[in-house]
Amino acid sequence: MIYPENMLILAPLSGFTDLPYREAAYRGGCMYAFTEMVDAASLAYANAGGEKLLNISQYERENFIATQLVGSDPELLKRACQKLNAYHFSLVDFNLGCPVPKVVKKGAGAALGRNIELAVRCFGTIAEHVKFPLTAKMRILHQSDPEPTLELCRKLVDLGAQALTIHGRTMEHFYTGEVNFSIIRAVKESFPQIPVIANGGVYSVENCAEMREKSGCSRVMLAQGAMGNPWLFREINGGLPPTLAEWKDMVRTHIAGMVKLYGEESAMRQARKIVHDYLRGRGFPASLRNEASKLTRESELETLLSAASPAAVTATRRIIS
């Protein structure tokens, strides 16, 4: 089976889950992770940026690494699969859930999930041409009625989907609002022959416990909850939150990996949002967040970390000083 029971999975996060991000997650206790979402057109047309998203480590080659395709043109998806077949992945996932406007306006992601006929055609094309196990990630299609979601799931399973990840919010709700556990549970109970992974709104140990209890899914995918908190994987599995020293070392190592991959100038521009996530919700003063917004050199990060003293931490229980 693709995912063992009780497994936690790092979601494909566009603009985030590059190799340094995934390595931080592994240090935090993650075992199963995705690259960033990859646009089929970028691969089909040999866009260098698209192919760079597929960089993986030797550790991942020897253990587990998955990627996710997004697109709504069967021909481009076919060509993308032919490119993907030259890589080493544990599985390929098809995105039927991304609600971001630039994806939706192309008829892909969550918009494609609602166009069941085309979604099934696209999924079938991938199933025919990709050499890896194929799964799908989708959002619920109605806020209260499970049947539209179940209809799409049935068709995907009939075409060979080996796992389904269900985000318990509709496209309109993006990443906020109530998660519909009952529809996720309906999918889980309707397809006992494959792993069903629950997704949406998991930011803490307590959130994860609630998700597992109410959805019936032992497997959970973490997305925004893992941003700036790679230790969430460890904590859910009964481990301790980070010490301040561990927090500093994680931030330092993560950004150093980005500098190595992208070069200092590009890496530090991207690092601003990453450092903001590490600072969020941990009681650090606004002055540190302001400094994070100005980062241009790796040495400036060290100055910021030096200012993150135990005395500065006032509103968190996730850092042990």
CA 104 – CA 90 distance, rounded (Å): 27
Q: Which two tokens stand for residue 317?
A: 């229980």
Backbone angles phi and psi of 148, in degrees to 5: -60, -40
Angle at 103 between CA 98 and CA 107, to 5 degrees: 100
Secondary structure (DSSP) of 234-256 = HHHTT-PPPBHHHHHHHHHHHHH
- Integer-rounded Cα Rg, in Å, for the chain is 20
β-pair partners for 39: 70
Active site residues: 98
Strand, coil or helix: 101: helix
β-pair partners for 164: 136, 196
Q: Is the backbone of residue 271 left (phi > 0), alpha (psi -120 to 50) or beta?
A: alpha
- Confirm if 319 and 244 have CB atoms less than 8 A apart: yes
- Count the helix, strand and coil residues of the chain and give each as a percent rounded to the nearest 5: 50, 15, 40
CA 57 – CA 298 distance, rounded (Å): 23
Extract the runs of DSSP E, i.e. beta strands, from 12-133. Answer: 32-39, 66-70, 91-96
